[in-house]
Structure 1
Amino acid sequence: MPPEQPLPDWVPARRRAIGAAIRSTRLRRNLTQERLAERADLDRKTINRIEQGHTSADLDHLLLIADALGVPLSVLVRD
């Protein structure tokens, strides 16, 4: 199996942008990371890592977060 190729620079940049969209939406809703995590049935550390762009959120987590924030997923992932 060939070694894994590094991700293009735009991928982590987009991941950070999605995390920033989650954070700004969360703050507009006056939610803490802890409260968002409770609503989404996720760990607060998971929310933090996603917002900071340190980890790639899987689709299930993004769907749960969007639902917990009361927004369509497209709001969080649009360019």
Structure 2
Amino acid sequence: MPSPQPEWVLARRRAIGDRIRDTRRKAQLSQERLAELAGIDRQAVNRIEQGHAAPYIDTLIRIAHALDVPLSDLVR
């Protein structure tokens, strides 16, 4: 069983989720629509935005593409 992540990692994951949510809202997209555009399910979008999931880099790239922003804007 993997060891739990340090709090600073979890805080960083939540910050990335916050940026994704803020960018999605500015684009006036629902979680469902973002999921469709990114090719993932809505529950995955929700878990990522809440900081409960640690997405693969490929998923973050797909989300950035769907939001039409550089990946660096989401993970800075």
| TM-score range relative to shorter protein | over 0.9
CA shift digits 1:12-54 (9 cap, x unpaired): 0000000000000000000000000000011000000000001
Aligned partner (choices 44, 47, 57) of residue 45 of structure 2 = 47
The gaps in structure 2 that reach 5 residues or longer are none
Which residue does 1:6 correspond to in 2? 4
TM-score normalised by structure 2 residue count: 0.95
Measure the CA separation in 2 of the matches of 1:6 and 1:44.
Answer: 25
Aligned 1:36-75 pairs, distance under 5 A: 36-75=34-73
TM-score normalised by structure 1 residue count: 0.92
The gaps in structure 1 that reach 5 residues or longer are none
Amino acid paired to 1:76: L
Give the ranges of 4+ consecutive aligned residues of structure 1 lying more than 6 Å apart after TM superposition: none
Which residue does 1:33 correspond to in 2? 31
Q: Number of aligned pairs?
A: 76
Structural RMSD (CA): 1.0
State which structure, 1 or 2, has the greater radius of gyration over its C-alpha atoms. Answer: 1
